Structure 1
Amino acid sequence: MTTLAEKAVALKSLHVPGDPVVLPTVWDAWSANLAVQAGFAALTMGSHPVADSVGKPDNEGMTFEELLTRVRQVTAAVDVPISVDVEAGYGEAPARIVEGLLGAGAVGLNVEDTVHSEGGRLREPAEHAEYVAGLRAAADAAGVHLVVNARTDLFVKKIGAESDRVDRAIDRLKLAADAGADVLYPVGFHSDEVQRRLTSELPLPVNAIAHPAKNDLASLAALGVARISFGPLLQATLAERAGELLGRWR
């Protein structure tokens, strides 16, 4: 692959319900090379592990420019499609997010509906969809089909009554789909029943989070998932193992 447009098309094509692409969540050139050498065809960069790697807190504790520095290091180190978690956008306009990511060599993004710079409030459904629409318009203008993964935090933040939370998440993500998202991410660990509802009722491929040591590919594939990522859990699991190794030398 030689162009960003080709990488974007390749990334989008990997999202197949029932045959999910696994995008190991990386944070620097070392972890990206580790994942590529293990045979993975595309990667995602998580805000939490990236922030940890530069000594900043998650939840937009680093700036967009600090994130882009890491993205450039990763795209210089590996020649596979890279998606980047941009949290809620770091207070930047959608056009600036797209310009920065494409300039750094990324071809996909996650965008969530928690606005950390405003007390952690959840964007209204139409507000989040409007931001997604801005991202899609900017990518279209740039001539690259940036793969937009629209995330909602309704489950992890336990917003509103549990009885209708799935319905509200589906309604919210359908608006994001209509606005131009390519993938939908109802982040959280769900029961099989809830996961099946999400994959069957949402109109686009669904991203699921997984624990690299506790979950398995076949089970999530059987639930209709199209994309699997690890959030901060790969880094955390490696940190636990490193702690065990280092503990032998105290």
Structure 2
Amino acid sequence: MTQTVPTDLAGRARTLLDLHAAPEILTLANVWDVVSAQVVAAAGAHALATASHAIASTFGYPDGENIPLELHLDMVRRIVQAVDLPVSMDFEAGYGNPGETARRAIEVGVVGGNLEDGMRPLGEAVAAVEAVMAAGREAGVTFVLNARTDALLRAGKDAPRSAVLGEAIRRGRAFLEAGAPVVFVPGLVAREEIREVADALGPQKLTVISVPGVSLPASELQSLGVARVSTGPFTQRVALTALQDAAADLLAGGVLPASTRPLN
């Protein structure tokens, strides 16, 4: 049975898809709870993406689908309801049933998502992509799947780089053919490698993660044809670094930073 989805949800999905297809890069500072979502939205974000690692850490769970899906979805629901922006959810490898997980995510207001391939056999990974896209169609939503390949993250140290990049491209093309609008390749940070993969996948099809102290600026990524750059757990680490530094100064006899703003 086709689900009844509010018109505004379908509109948010279309907006998110358009943001990926635009020539301007979509920059997403990942969020993990309501207040982080509100702060990022107030900074001028056009859309939001959650970070599964950061949400799991918030509740004391390690990354890797260790946080119960019900708890994960409840936090995402709270984020969706707190902002007037399209929200994409990182649902890791799909919690054993990518299509059902996508369906449940859509029910709480999500219009896009990340799905890891975990370097499963390509046929299985493609079937997972197809299941997520089917869930979107059944809900009447143009679901914006950011299909992730772990080809670079899981490559052996001695693996020829050309072969690793070739596998990322092979998997990325298969995910695009299966209906995913964009492909996420974490671990891709070198300029020429980004150019190679972006050229192979096509304009506005590649997404990457910004790694502190390593990644290229968003403006340069845009010039290379990247559709989207996100931050994963690193935005939470920025916040935690500031907290720990402030606490250390305070405990050493100092005061809190004068630049502190009332953001909550």
Say whether the fold is shared (TM-score over 0.5): yes
1:82 paired with 2:87, answer yes
Give the 3-state SS of the residue equivalent to 2:54 in structure 1. helix
Q: Deviations over 1:91-134 (max 9, x none)?
A: 1251x1122111111100000012xxxxxxx2111211111011
Q: What is the one-letter code of the residue matched to 1:247?
A: A
Between the aligned partners of 1:179 and 1:52, the Cα distance in structure 2 is 32
Q: Deviations over 1:137-171 (max 9, x none)?
A: 12111111111110011111225543311111101
Which residue of structure 2 aligns with residue 245 of structure 1? 246
Instruction: Give the aligned partner of residue 40 of structure 1.
Output: 45
Check the 8 A contact 1:17/1:205 in 2, yes or no.
no
Distance 2:33 2:212 in 1: 18
Q: Secondary structure at the match of 2:250?
A: coil
Question: Residue 57 of structure 1: which of 45, 62, 67 is its match?
Answer: 62
Determine the structure 2 residue equivalent to 1:109: 113
Q: Which residue of 2 aligns with 1:119?
A: none
CA distance in 2, matches of 1:228, 1:8: 18
1:118 is matched with which residue? none
1:12 aligns with 2:17: yes
Flag the 1:73–1:51 CA change in 2: closer, same or farther, 3 A.
same
Describe the superposition over 1:171-200 as per-residue Cα deviations: whole angstroms up to 9, x where unpaired. 111111111101101111421110001111
* Structure number, greater radius of gyration: 2
> Separation in 2 of the partners of 1:2 and 1:152?
32
Q: What is the rounded CA distance, in whole Å, between the counterparts of 2:88 and 2:213 in structure 1?
A: 22
Q: Classify the secondary structure of the residue corresponding to 1:228.
A: strand
CA distance in 1: counterparts of 2:46 and 2:213, whole angstroms: 20
- The SS at the match of 1:135 is helix
Deviations 1:54-84 (A, max 9, x none): 1111011112211101111101111100000
Inter-partner Cα distance in structure 2 for 1:218 and 1:200: 17
Tell me the SS of whatever aligns to 1:3: helix
SS at match of 2:27: strand
Tell whether the 8 Å contact from 1:18 to 1:223 is kept in structure 2 after alignment.
no
Aligned residue number for residue 127 of structure 1: 124
Paired residue type of 2:113: L
Most deviating of 60-69 and 35-44? 60-69
Deviation at 1:18, TM superposition (A): 4.8
Q: Match of 2:226, SS? A: coil
Q: CA deviation at 1:221?
A: 1.2
Provide Cα deviations, 1:8-44, integer angstroms capped at 9, x if missing partner: 0000000146521111100000100010000001010
Aligned residues: 242
What letter is aligned with 1:231? G
Give 1:2 shift: 5.7
Residue among 139, 153, 171 paired with 2:136: 139
After TM superposition, give the deviation of residue 242 of structure 1 in Å.
1.2
Percent identity of equivalent pairs: 34
Structure 1 contact 63–90 (Cα < 8 Å) conserved: no
Describe the superposition over 1:215-239 as per-residue Cα deviations: whole angstroms up to 9, x where unpaired: 4221211211110100111111221
In 1, Cα distance between the equivalents of 2:22 and 2:44? 21
Tell me: CA distance 1:245–1:213, structure 2 relative to 1, closer, same or farther (3 Å). Answer: farther
Change (3 A) 1:18 1:210: farther
Letter in 2 for 1:178: E
Q: Is 1:190 aligned to residue 194 of structure 2? A: no
Structure 2 runs not aligned, ≥5 long: 1-5, 252-264
- TM-score, normalisation: structure 2: 0.87
Unmatched runs of 5 consecutive residues or more in structure 1: 115-121
